[in-house]
Amino acid sequence: MKILICGLPGSGKTTLADRLAKDLYYTRLNADQVRSELNDWDFSEEGRKRQARRLRDITNRIPRSITDFVCPTKETRKIFKADYVIWMDTVDKSEYEDTNKMFERLEENEYDLQITNWENYEFILSAFRSYISRTDAV
């Protein structure tokens, strides 16, 4: 199961990923940490596609993973190929103007859970656990 938590910088992706990974016993990947390890700070459209491919390849080898990644375009989300997408729709813009311009808001068919105010963490955890129980039964 590959979970993607996406959204603009400052939306709470990393905080949510940390909590979910701990509570669900999933491996957590942070896109910025991966960039840092590889010293790849290219935030162009091509750099973001490369990052999506890189994260996809890493998570394809991990049975249960949670990745927090801006994943700003439909194409980067398609490249990553998440099993479950949480969209952190909690901020209208970030401090990074290039990311604001590039970010494409997700459409209903692109996410499984949209978070507009994530103060109710138990609801988020419950929604995901419910999804897991439905998909495990299939």
Q: Per the structure, how many domains does the chain have?
A: 1
Strand partners, 6: 87
Residues in Cβ contact with 34 at an 8 Å cutoff, skipping those fewer than 6 apart: 51, 54, 55, 58
3-state secondary structure of 21: helix
3-state secondary structure of 40: coil
pLDDT per residue rounded down to tens, the chain (138 residues): 999 999 999 999 999 999 999 999 999 999 999 999 999 999 999 999 999 999 999 999 999 999 999 999 999 999 999 999 999 999 999 999 999 999 999 999 999 999 998 778 998 898 888 888 887 643
CATH number at residue 63: 3.40.50.300
Q: What is the extent of the structural domain holding 86?
A: 2-137
The whole-number pLDDT of residue 135 equals 74
The whole-number pLDDT of residue 10 equals 96
The whole-number pLDDT of residue 88 equals 97
pTM confidence score: 0.92
Q: Rounded to whole angstroms, how far apart are CA atoms 10 and 4?
A: 16
The whole-number pLDDT of residue 136 equals 61
